[in-house]
Amino acid sequence: MNQIDRLRGSTPAKRHNARTIAALTGNPGCSRRAVLDAAGVDKVALASRVGFPGSFGQSRFALARGNAFEAMLKADDCALLRSVLDVGMIGYHDLGADSDDTLGARHGRTRELLASSVSGLIDHPLLTLELAGRTVFLEPDLIAFQGEGRLRVVEIKSFAIVDGQADAAAVSSAAVQAAVYVLALRALLGEDRVSHEVVLVCPENFSLQPVAVVLDVRKQLATLRRQLSRLSSVSALIEALPESVSFDLALPPSALVSSLAALAARYAPECLSFCEMSVYCRSEASGSTAAFGRSVRESLGGIEEVSVALDLARGLVEPSSEQAEAAALLRQAARLRAEALG
Ligand code: SF4
């Protein structure tokens, strides 16, 4: 058993998907997350086992709305989708239709079709990406063949575009997920055959009428590449961990907490929106200035604890030379606050 598998113990490895790979770009400086992800630890189960369950994933209502929207677009061999994408009468290939639908078989059919000169829309394709030595299967909503031979990824999302505007966080996460598919396609076919422009199809305004928006994901591709290569180098970090560190979910919670303490975390409030460990890490970080986020961490550089920041603001302790600048700002802020309240 290698060190990565030993770290996870008897618990089966958690399978990645585009959503979890996209989340890897959320806090690239966090070693804890990098190690847990590289080892395939089930973070939802781990957080729950140590007493800090969170609620992750889409609500049932959002899932049902998303499924209904996708089914409507794909009905009658993607008739409505073709009109939104403005691709005319190109072919339609459903790779999920065969009865031998093992992951390997479907991936094989996808490779075959992509390598051939057949053109059209590919539904239920299955791609792969190598992640820290493991093969991850990915299911894009659709791949569209372009007339000039370049492929485009089509992402169907159920969040609305109202008056040409959509929730920035939702668009940004859809762009990173689509970039994961572009990366997987490029690994298979080469850079030139896959466009860096992806098509996002969403409901428009307050109806289920679809609208297509083209997104350039070059920036997301660069971030993903950086983060994925960092994940591979995490094995060195894992090799250096003591034998006692294990995330086997059969262990008592106290042992799992000790193992978590061996991995340096970098909690920031944004973690709450993408990381399954966030409720645990927030509790662990309480009392530290870092828990207030990057801007506070940077403004209070050199002051790690909230209690020290408060003592400096009240003039109860002498600042060290690295703390002098932040201490002056804290005293001024305390004076202004006292004036405002007084
Ligand atoms: S919640 Fe914890 S493990 Fe996850 S990214 Fe933030 S600090 Fe790292």
Protein residues with CB under 6 Å of any ligand 1 atom: 27, 30, 32-33, 265-267, 271, 275, 277-278, 281
Q: Give the closest residue to 266 by CA, choosing from 237, 232, 289.
A: 289
- Residues 113, 224: one domain? yes
Question: Are 234 and 105 contacting, i.e. CB atoms less than 8 angstroms apart?
Answer: no
- Residues 96, 161: one domain? yes
Give the atom of ligand 1 at the shortest distance from the alpha carbon of 277.
Answer: 1
Per-residue pLDDT tens over the stretch 289-340? 888 887 887 888 778 889 999 999 999 999 988 888 889 999 999 999 999 9
- Residues 300, 223: one domain? no
Tell me the CA–centroid distance for residue 45 and ligand 1, in Å. 15
Give the atom of ligand 1 at the shortest distance from the alpha carbon of 268.
Answer: 6
pTM of the model: 0.76
Consecutive H or E run containing 233: helix 218-239
Tell me the CA–centroid distance for residue 264 and ligand 1, in Å. 9
- Residues 51, 165: one domain? yes
Q: Is residue 63 part of a domain?
A: yes
* Domain count of the fold of the chain: 2
More confident residue, 188 or 147: 188
Query: What DSSP character marks residue 250?
Result: T
CB-based burial, 189-208: b 16+ in 10 Å, e otherwise: eeeeebbbbbbbbbbbeeee
- Residues 147, 255: one domain? yes
Highest mean pLDDT among 55-69, 95-109, 250-264, 290-304: 250-264
CB neighbourhood size of 150 (10 A): 15
Question: Are 233 and 239 contacting, i.e. CB atoms less than 8 angstroms apart?
Answer: no
Q: Quote the domain boundaries for residue 260.
A: 1-267
Give the atom of ligand 1 at the shortest distance from the alpha carbon of 27.
Answer: 5
Tell me the CA–centroid distance for residue 225 and ligand 1, in Å. 20
Give the C-alpha separation, 263 to 39, whole Å: 13
Give the C-alpha separation, 52 to 282, whole Å: 10
Q: Which of 267, 299, 330 is the last residue of a domain?
A: 267
Mutate to test the pocket of ligand 1, among 234, 273, 280, 281 (most ligand atoms within 8 A of CB): 281
- Residues 172, 319: one domain? no
Q: Is residue 284 part of a domain?
A: no
Q: Is residue 319 part of a domain?
A: yes
- The protein residue with its alpha carbon nearest to ligand 1, atom 1, reads 278
- Residues 3, 59: one domain? yes
- The protein residue with its alpha carbon nearest to ligand 1, atom 3, reads 33
Looking up residue 90, the CATH number of its domain turns out to be 3.90.320
Q: Is residue 286 part of a domain?
A: no
Tell how far CA 14 is from the center of its chain: 14
- Residues 174, 110: one domain? yes
| 334 CB-contact burial (10 Å; exposed 0-12 / middle 13-18 / buried 19+) | middle
Tell me the CA–centroid distance for residue 286 and ligand 1, in Å. 14
- Residues 178, 301: one domain? no
Per-residue pLDDT tens over the stretch 176-220? 999 999 999 999 988 888 999 999 999 998 888 999 999 999 999
Tell how far CA 214 is from the center of its chain: 21
Mutate to test the pocket of ligand 1, among 247, 277, 286 (most ligand atoms within 8 A of CB): 277
- Residues 168, 30: one domain? yes
- Residues 248, 296: one domain? no
pLDDT category, 58, cuts 50, 70, 90? low
- Residues 229, 142: one domain? yes
Mutate to test the pocket of ligand 1, among 263, 266, 283 (most ligand atoms within 8 A of CB): 266
Q: Is residue 252 part of a domain?
A: yes
Q: Is residue 182 part of a domain?
A: yes
| Alpha-carbon distances, residue 337 vs 290, 315, 330, 342 (angstroms) | 22, 14, 10, 8
Q: Which of 267, 282, 307 is the last residue of a domain?
A: 267
- Dihedral pair phi/psi, residue 238, rounded to 5°: -65, -40
- Strands 134-138 and 142-145: what pairing? unpaired
